[in-house]
Structure 1
Amino acid sequence: MKWVVKKAAVLGAGVMGAQIAAHLANARVPVVLFDLPAKEGDKNGVVKRALDGLKRLQPSPLVSRDTLQYIDAANYDEHLELLSGCDLIIEAIAERMDWKNDLYTRIAPFVTPGTVLASNTSGLSINGLAEALPAALRPNFCGIHFFNPPRYMPLVEIIATRDSAPAMLDGLETWLTTRLGKGVVRALDTPNFVANRIGVFSILAVMHHTAAFGLGFDTADALTGPKIGRPRSATFRTGDVVGLDTLAHVVNTMRDTLPSDPWHAFFKAPAWLDGLIARGALGQKTKAGIYRKQGKTIEVFDPASGDYRASDDALSAEVAAILQLADPAARLKALRQSGDVQAQFLWAIFRDLFHYCAVQLENVADNARDVDFALRWGFGWAQGPFELWQAAGWADTAQAIAADIEAGRAMSRAPLPAWVTAPGRSGVHGAAGSWSACRQMDVPRSTLPVYTRQLFPELLLGEAGARPEDSGETLFENGGVRLWRLPTVDAGIGIVSFKSKMHAIGDDVVDGLLEALSRAERELDGLVIWHEAPFAVGADLKQIHDACVAGDFERLERTVSRFQQTAMAIKFSPVPVVAAVQGMALGGGCEFAMHARKRVLALESQLGLVEVGVGLIPSGGGCKELALGAARWAAQSGTAGEVLGRLTPAFMAVATGKTGKSAHEAVALGYASADDTILFHPRELLWVALKEARLLADAGYVPPVPARGVPVAGRAGIAAMEMTLVNMREGGMISAHDYRVSRAVAVALCGGEVEYGSLVDEAWLLAVERREFIELLKTPETRARIQHMLETGKPLRN
């Protein structure tokens, strides 16, 4: 059943409700955001204040400045009739069953049959909530649990009731996946569902063992963050991020609703947590929680003293060495056998997490795949708990867990389920699917048609599935790129994938891309530049640095010329070239994307011309393309020749190395076009890009011709831009070399030292870029910046 959301409503303008509305608006879905009427003044005041708050939140929940125009403010007293025109209604008020039930009774007369009504609850019973609805609305009711912040966290849990219509659930999952870019998990109607049930248990286990082993919260965070594949916020800092009051609420929900859970004794907020909440130290939203910042010092709460101390997150040398081991089995075994207290702590938290997941799998999820993806997508773990266990050696780890249970060292004496130790079991993910404890069988992935758009879906460790590097038919390959195609999708469209580290653009990539373009002209109908993120981090700085050290500037000029030749070959290829961009497309990567006939952009793509960070300017045609864009804009606006107004914001963006924080910002900055395709799910990029290339080819693609008679701003434009630079230099905002680099940007954007309004062509603009780039490379300041970036990964201000 095809289900389209032409208009939506969100009930509740709190933190989650407002941000859910914002993300619907990001997808260009008109939204009505409801809340209680304000007691004074404008009755929509509560919602309007929430919308104003969205503008200040960081990271921003809004993908562009115009997003808020898709959200209308409303209140329950005056505007309930607006619900009748909505295809989707998401209730997101406070976690009180009685409040939600009262609201459902109030809105039910205005909900149109066929409208999907969903509750964004983090753990309340969905079947219990459904009882407040008329029977006619129950088939289209379910739970829909977004994770905070909704724009950035991939996970959405869908929770069916006994009466939820299967077709409705399939339609909702399809829409959430492709329109909002979410990873959907079908959760069971159990307290806290999947991600929070397992994730919060993991937090409680870490809290318990932190106290048991006498560690500080800061040390525990150092051990449970990126070192073990979890986010930088680790455990205790995550509490601050989500809010200590919110964390305590979720823990209390587990305590109140899971009395028979074998770990129930641990489902309680520690006394120190209740104490922090009582004093109003709720985490980031109150500027103090488990951590606080005093001046430049980060302090951490010490429950022994009841006060804060300077944070010290040092790891023991032994544990640091163990965590460097590449083999997961060797790593976990070393932790288990070590006498180091930090190692014992890590083994304990893994042991109890694995134990809990094994015992509760049949109660919390349909299968182990849903658990692992829920923790990946909802908590930002690199691997889910079952993946970690399987990687560490299933049978040996199970034996060690069982031994600790028997010895009373585990948090619970509940025995491991029989399926865990079944003969021949080596894990839960395999070619047949993922293990379902409730069905006692391996379950394959969903067959919903929307997933055919993901040619290379995200895979769990041990899962069978296609990987790009092993797929398709290779047509050409060198050290830098692979040209290949997928005959099962479209044998006439080639795919070029970069092979270099971080997809940096060096000689091999340039040579390979030129060859791929040549072969495409002879053998193919179109070409897609695609690989998994990042798209490209720019030119290979080491090659540039080595040539500078050797003083071989003739070679550098040839390299830049060939880079420009490649960009122009992309632009003027006789077959359409589509750039499928995910993640960072910086410097030369951005320039290659700018020269493609069309771009298919993942929403969170980050495009930018950032060369000023190493004392250079864009030289692969980026400045040229911005100059051409300014000339087109001036001609279309009826002021041909008046290009400076359009160039000024482009100059500030390039001179400051500004990067678009979303695909929409990339369009606003001129690095992409308004007619480019923006996708919310990055796994759909290749499928859509292949379709776009085919559409262009079948429409009789004709490449553009090189631009001539392009009006430029010349010396007058350079002078106008220099005025800004002078003020910045005199104000101490930029150094003398920053001034020189930024002036070179102005020269390239304005077409060189020519008269205002002079008419030039693309070759002229490229020559100006090339000359300014080489002259900057000859300066010791730029060479020092390049070397510093290579050594530290950070820009140098000199």
Structure 2
Amino acid sequence: MNRFNVRQVAVLGAGVMGAQIAAHLVNVKVPVVLFDLPNPKDGPKSAIALKAIDNLKKLKPAPLGVADDATRIRAANYEDDLALLGQCDLVIEAIAERMDWKLDLYTKIAPHVAAHAIVASNTSGLSISKLAEALPASIQPRFCGIHFFNPPRYMQLVELIPTPTTEAGVLDQLETFVTTTLGKGVVRAKDTPNFIANRVGIAGMLATIHEAQKFGLSVDVVDDLTGKKLGRASSGTFRTADVVGLDTMAHVIRTLQDNLGPDQANDPFFPSYATPAVLTTLIGAGALGQKAKAGFYKKVGKDILRFDAASGDYVPGGKKADAIVDRILKKPAAERLKLLRESTNPQAQFLWAILRDSFHYVAVHLGTIADSAREVDFAMRWGFGMKQGPFELWQEAGWQQVAGWVKEDIEAGKALCSAPLPDWVFDGRTGVHTPEGSWSAATQRYLPRSSLPVYARQRFPENVAGGGAVDPLKSGTELFKNDEIRLWTPDGEVLIASITSKMHLIGTGVIEGLAKAVELAEGADGKGYQGVVIWSPDDVFSAGANLESLLPVFMKSGAKGIAPIVKELQDTMLRLRYANVPVVAAVRGLALGGGCEIALACDRRVAHMESYVGLVEVGVGLLPAGGGLTYIARRAAERAPAGASDLLPFLKEGFEAAAMAKVGTSALESRKLGYLQDGDIVVAHRDELLHVAIGQVKAMVDAGYRPPPKSQIPVAGRNAIATIKASLVGMRDGGFITKHDFHIASLIADVVCGGELDAGTVVTEEYLMALERKHFCALLEHPKSQERAMGLLQNGKPVRN
């Protein structure tokens, strides 16, 4: 795959979006120059950009994987530093949404842009073609729109918008970079107001506000109805507006108003784009949402108040959906929509109304805003956190039945506008997504997915319902399966171990399966495989041990009954570590407790950028007993100079991570905590993880892989334990940790320092694992630990005791 070689990127504009785009670029190790206006006051000329860079370290959610990476962004200004543009392969303009300001800036930068560089405008809805007109003819073929969603690090969607003069190859290059380097889901949009996601999303929010007023529903009830229960982002509608910013929402609405006009032929939904009175009221009062600490919601002390439009004041919130509606929303799609439509409950009627409005809207506009229905559904999934796009839901619920219901409502005057559904809706089809492609209303045919080489790296790419996606857990050749794990091979060369238990919790089935994976890969069946990849196709690698499954054993035999199971787990971890074939952990999402320990036992880790890795057993009153503490001791010995007598400085970071249950909130932070090593790979796109992991196995084999020699580990010994416990006493007596925290941390110190031995004594991994097992089983019998474990199992929340 030929790549667009992006050695450095210029981001123009150090506002909220520009600075955070720059942050995500350095997350993936792309050097960035961040430009803004020259400082009109005393101080550094690039003070505006410098301040924005410094602010990145304070924002939540964190735009940087590691705060220290802020130093990798170079601050610049438009007066002194325009020559730096010549060193950049990609220029992303991200200044305020003012057409005149953007055009003026383009005139300023044009002489300095490199002859090969791609120039892209990050705009949420301005005409890309009009922006292109301000650029010289030599740059226009290399210019397009690029629309990141906020916050850029976390939001999957990036819309790319070509102009009539954009070269197709340029867009292909940019899509490849945004996909594999930045890890985003790319949707190509047409140059229409607000493109796809904001066009459909804001129209949907306006329809929701309209229908909520019609049915007399408060904002908290609406958010409960339109959040997770409806398969959408947990923030619902009004809280999402607060997070986005009510002024930002109003701006996007104005883009629709200013560019679509009152001509019904232009957009029959135009009357529904009127700015809601409640939005005008709140903006007029300066209640702009979360950033102003007041919007549709306002926090007062510990109470969350909601805005009541009738009284014009904030009142207590927290109301929920009616139980009957809850039950309806748990039904299959066809039954769910039928019950909502036929119910006399106002909340159910409201939900049918907003779903009908969304089906009506996307059908009428499909031909003008997107190449196919697939782009609409992906845009709404990735940009607005929906589990299903509107076309997917419609198709699942029964295309022709739902189309008939929508048609009846339009004719009865219940819909937002009187425009009929397009003729293609009623041509006998069963939906818009098929294995051959998704429906294009503009070309009246089904369009297949992009065939760009970058997508060949995605063995199981995210797909739309009805698109004929292959189920990864039913693909390939199955070699072994139990209730908790599936062993299979996609190519006959590399064995894949996919944990399938809930939250991929580790029970005896997982232990059995991992041992079987090594056995098969090493050739126990006379065949053998190049290596093993531990991978599952969702956002959980493993959330740790299945404590609930151990309860019957514990109730019958106590800790003595658990000890053999822990020993079997430890033996399996050593089996992974010393296998005669390479074993690679493909980490995506949660890798906590035992999940972290599985990853640590492997030869190499390939981790998705948004992976959350840590030893968290302290939260349930236990300590790591699957080799995690042994790993900390071994790593300390490996990092210390040969013959070093004091190992404590090299243990400190690992001990604190385990004793405080620290979790790396990105793969980059996990590396800083020691859970990922320098040779491990961080992958930006989650769907490329398996491809890269398999490649790592094959590369290791090609390099003549041999398992590591059995570890002989010098330990820090009793003096180091005493030093650690002395510091823990101060924390306990100062009220920073509880007595039970102190007890568990002391036991962790005992393991990582090797117990009551002299400093420098050499031990085996089995010796340290025996200490882990001993203390783990002792904690199982401790009432305080039992209280923590039961609290988590019963309430899903850690207990501090």
TM-score over 0.5 for the pair: yes
- Provide the C-alpha distance between the structure 1 equivalents of 2:452 and 2:709, rounded to a whole number of angstroms: 44
Q: Give a deviation string over 1:642-693, Cα, whole Å, max 9, x none.
A: 2111212222211111110011111111111111010000101111111110
Q: What does residue 36 of structure 1 align with?
A: 37
1:362 to 2:367 alignment: yes
1:578 to 2:579 alignment: no
- Provide the C-alpha distance between the structure 1 equivalents of 2:578 and 2:310, rounded to a whole number of angstroms: 69
Q: Give 2:586's aligned amino acid.
A: A
Aligned-partner SS, 1:144: strand
Aligned-partner SS, 1:569: helix
Q: What does residue 324 of structure 1 align with?
A: 330
Aligned-partner SS, 2:39: coil
Q: Give a deviation string over 1:403-462, Cα, whole Å, max 9, x none.
A: 010010101000000011112x11111121110000101111000010010000112111
Q: Quick one: structure 1 residues 191 and 639, their matched pair in 2 at CA, closer, same or farther if it must change by over 3 Å?
A: farther
Q: Tell me if structure 1 keeps the 8 A contact 2:54–2:70.
A: no
Aligned-partner SS, 1:567: helix
Of stretches 741-750 and 400-409 in structure 1, the one that deviates more from structure 2 is 741-750
- Provide the C-alpha distance between the structure 1 equivalents of 2:552 and 2:543, rounded to a whole number of angstroms: 18
Deviation of 1:781 after TM superposition, in Å, equals 1.8
Matches within 5 A, 1:617-656: 617-635=623-641, 640-656=644-660
- Provide the C-alpha distance between the structure 1 equivalents of 2:734 and 2:643, rounded to a whole number of angstroms: 34
Q: What does residue 512 of structure 2 align with?
A: 511
Deviation of 1:728 after TM superposition, in Å, equals 2.3
Q: What does residue 403 of structure 1 align with?
A: 408
Deviation of 1:737 after TM superposition, in Å, equals 1.6
Q: Tell me if structure 2 keeps the 8 A contact 1:221–1:313.
A: no
Q: What does residue 572 of structure 2 align with?
A: 566
Deviation of 1:700 after TM superposition, in Å, equals 1.1
Aligned to 2:242, which of 213, 237, 240?
240
Q: Tell me if structure 2 keeps the 8 A contact 1:604–1:661.
A: yes
Q: What does residue 103 of structure 1 align with?
A: 105
Q: Tell me if structure 1 keeps the 8 A contact 2:13–2:19.
A: yes
Deviation of 1:612 after TM superposition, in Å, equals 0.6
Deviation of 1:277 after TM superposition, in Å, equals 1.2
Q: Tell me if structure 2 keeps the 8 A contact 1:544–1:556.
A: yes
Aligned to 1:419, which of 424, 427, 432?
424
- Provide the C-alpha distance between the structure 2 equivalents of 1:730 and 1:93, rounded to a whole number of angstroms: 52
Deviation of 1:797 after TM superposition, in Å, equals 2.0
TM-score by length of 1: 0.98
1:768 to 2:774 alignment: no
Q: Tell me if structure 1 keeps the 8 A contact 2:12–2:94.
A: yes
Q: Tell me if structure 2 keeps the 8 A contact 1:13–1:33.
A: yes
Q: What does residue 698 of structure 2 align with?
A: 694
Q: What does residue 557 of structure 2 align with?
A: 551
Aligned to 2:357, which of 352, 358, 383?
352
Matches within 5 A, 1:63-462: 63-259=65-261, 260-325=266-331, 327-423=332-428, 425-462=429-466
Aligned-partner SS, 2:139: helix
Q: Give a deviation string over 1:608-637, Cα, whole Å, max 9, x none.
A: 1001111110011100111111111112xx
- Provide the C-alpha distance between the structure 2 equivalents of 1:483 and 1:348, rounded to a whole number of angstroms: 46
Q: Give a deviation string over 1:347-386, Cα, whole Å, max 9, x none.
A: 0000011100000000110100000000000111111111
Deviation of 1:756 after TM superposition, in Å, equals 2.6
Q: Give 1:734's aligned amino acid.
A: I
1:788 to 2:791 alignment: yes
Q: Give 1:8's aligned amino acid.
A: V
Q: Give 1:563's aligned amino acid.
A: L
Aligned to 1:660, which of 623, 643, 664?
664
Aligned-partner SS, 2:182: coil
1:492 to 2:493 alignment: yes
Deviation of 1:317 after TM superposition, in Å, equals 2.4
Q: Give 1:742's aligned amino acid.
A: A
Aligned to 1:605, which of 602, 611, 631?
611
Q: What does residue 58 of structure 1 align with?
A: 60
Aligned-partner SS, 1:135: coil
- Provide the C-alpha distance between the structure 2 equivalents of 1:99 and 1:672, rounded to a whole number of angstroms: 44
- Provide the C-alpha distance between the structure 2 equivalents of 1:421 and 1:47, rounded to a whole number of angstroms: 55
Aligned-partner SS, 1:37: coil
Q: Give 1:661's aligned amino acid.
A: T
Q: Give a deviation string over 1:275-310, Cα, whole Å, max 9, x none.
A: 211221111111111111001110011111111001
Q: Tell me if structure 2 keeps the 8 A contact 1:97–1:129.
A: yes
- Provide the C-alpha distance between the structure 1 equivalents of 2:606 and 2:161, rounded to a whole number of angstroms: 32
- Provide the C-alpha distance between the structure 2 equivalents of 1:466 and 1:787, rounded to a whole number of angstroms: 39
Q: Give 2:357's aligned amino acid.
A: D
Q: Give a deviation string over 1:217-272, Cα, whole Å, max 9, x none.
A: 11111111111011111111111101100000000110111113111112122222
Q: Give a deviation string over 1:575-620, Cα, whole Å, max 9, x none.
A: 0001101010111111010010011100011111001111110011
Q: Tell me if structure 1 keeps the 8 A contact 2:10–2:32.
A: yes
Deviation of 1:543 after TM superposition, in Å, equals 2.6
- Provide the C-alpha distance between the structure 2 equivalents of 1:240 and 1:65, rounded to a whole number of angstroms: 26
Aligned-partner SS, 1:142: strand
Q: Tell me if structure 2 keeps the 8 A contact 1:471–1:486.
A: yes
- Provide the C-alpha distance between the structure 2 equivalents of 1:473 and 1:323, rounded to a whole number of angstroms: 37
- Provide the C-alpha distance between the structure 2 equivalents of 1:293 and 1:742, rounded to a whole number of angstroms: 37
- Provide the C-alpha distance between the structure 1 equivalents of 2:384 and 2:230, rounded to a whole number of angstroms: 13
Q: Tell me if structure 2 keeps the 8 A contact 1:606–1:663.
A: yes
Q: Tell me if structure 1 keeps the 8 A contact 2:560–2:777.
A: no
1:27 to 2:32 alignment: no
Deviation of 1:556 after TM superposition, in Å, equals 1.1
Q: Give 2:414's aligned amino acid.
A: R
Aligned-partner SS, 2:591: strand
Contiguous gaps of at least 5 residues in structure 1? none
Q: Give a deviation string over 1:89-117, Cα, whole Å, max 9, x none.
A: 00000111111000000000001111000
Q: Tell me if structure 2 keeps the 8 A contact 1:631–1:641.
A: no
Q: Tell me if structure 2 keeps the 8 A contact 1:86–1:115.
A: yes
1:731 to 2:749 alignment: no
Aligned-partner SS, 2:664: coil
Q: Tell me if structure 1 keeps the 8 A contact 2:304–2:317.
A: yes
- Provide the C-alpha distance between the structure 2 equivalents of 1:471 and 1:100, rounded to a whole number of angstroms: 49
Q: Tell me if structure 2 keeps the 8 A contact 1:105–1:133.
A: yes
Q: Give a deviation string over 1:733-775, Cα, whole Å, max 9, x none.
A: 3222222111111111111122233222212111111111111
Aligned-partner SS, 1:497: strand
Deviation of 1:70 after TM superposition, in Å, equals 2.0
Q: Tell me if structure 2 keeps the 8 A contact 1:180–1:681.
A: yes
- Provide the C-alpha distance between the structure 2 equivalents of 1:784 and 1:28, rounded to a whole number of angstroms: 44
TM-score by length of 2: 0.97
Q: Tell me if structure 2 keeps the 8 A contact 1:12–1:34.
A: yes
Q: What does residue 674 of structure 1 align with?
A: 678
Aligned-partner SS, 1:535: strand
Deviation of 1:540 after TM superposition, in Å, equals 1.1
Aligned length: 790
Aligned-partner SS, 2:542: coil
- Provide the C-alpha distance between the structure 2 equivalents of 1:724 and 1:148, rounded to a whole number of angstroms: 42
Name the Cα RMSD after superposition: 1.1
Aligned-partner SS, 1:66: helix
Deviation of 1:639 after TM superposition, in Å, equals 6.5
Q: Percent identity?
A: 52
